[in-house]
C-alpha cells in the first residue's frame, strides 16, 4: 500500500533476508531517482479529511432508500446512499445517511488527482448515489 509520501511494507517470518535486501535496494534506488526528477506538477499533501457531515438518516434507511446517481460535484447538500471509501488507507469518507458537504467533495477530488482508488462512486469517480 502506498500514497505519494509513504509506502507500507508488510513482512513476515516467511520472508528471506535476500528478499528484504532486494526490497531495501529497490527503495533506495527509487529515493535516489526521485531527487533527480522535477515536475511541472509538484506533489503536495492533500490535507486532512473534512469533519463528517450531519447524519439525517440511519445508514440502513439511506442505503435501502430510493436513490439516484448525481454528479459528485453537484451533490453538496444531498444525502449519501453509499459508502465512499478512499484507498489508501481504506477509511470511509462518506456513509449512507450523511449529508454530502462541499468540503468532502473537494477532498475527494484532490485525492482523485493524487491517483487514489475510490470505492463507492460510479463512472470514473464522477457519480455518487444519493437518496431521492
Cα 103 to the center of its chain, rounded Å: 14
Q: Domain 59-131 - what CATH class? A: alpha beta
Residue 47, pLDDT score: 74
Does residue 11 contact residue 24 with C-beta atoms inside 8 Å? no
Per-domain boundaries in the chain? 59-131
Tens-level pLDDT at each residue, the chain (132 residues): 666 677 888 999 999 999 999 999 998 988 887 766 666 656 666 777 788 889 999 999 999 999 999 999 999 999 999 999 987 678 899 999 999 999 999 999 888 887 788 899 886 768 999 999
CA gyration radius for the chain?
19
Q: pTM (2 decimals)?
A: 0.71
pLDDT of residue 123: 67
Q: Where are the alpha helices (DSSP H) in 1-132?
A: 17-36, 59-64, 102-114
Amino acid at each position: 500500500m502506498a500514497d505519494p509520501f509513504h509506502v507500507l511494507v508488510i513482512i513476515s517470518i516467511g520472508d528471506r533476508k535476500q528478499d528484504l535486501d532486494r526490497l531495501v535496494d529497490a527503495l533506495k534506488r527509487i529515493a535516489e531517482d526521485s531527487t533527480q526528477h522535477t515536475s511541472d506538477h509538484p506533489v503536495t499533501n492533500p490535507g486532512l479529511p473534512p469533519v463528517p457531515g450531519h447524519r439525517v438518516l440511519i445508514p440502513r434507511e439511506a442505503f435501502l432508500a430510493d436513490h439516484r446517481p448525481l454528479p459528485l460535484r453537484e451533490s453538496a447538500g444531498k444525502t449519501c446512499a453509499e459508502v465512499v471509501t478512499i484507498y489508501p488507507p481504506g477509511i470511509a469518507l462518506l456513509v449512507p445517511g450523511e449529508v454530502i458537504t462541499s468540503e468532502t467533495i473537494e477532498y475527494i477530488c484532490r485525492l482523485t488527482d493524487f491517483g487514489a482508488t475510490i470505492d463507492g462512486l460510479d463512472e470514473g469517480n464522477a457519480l455518487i448515489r444519493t437518496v431521492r
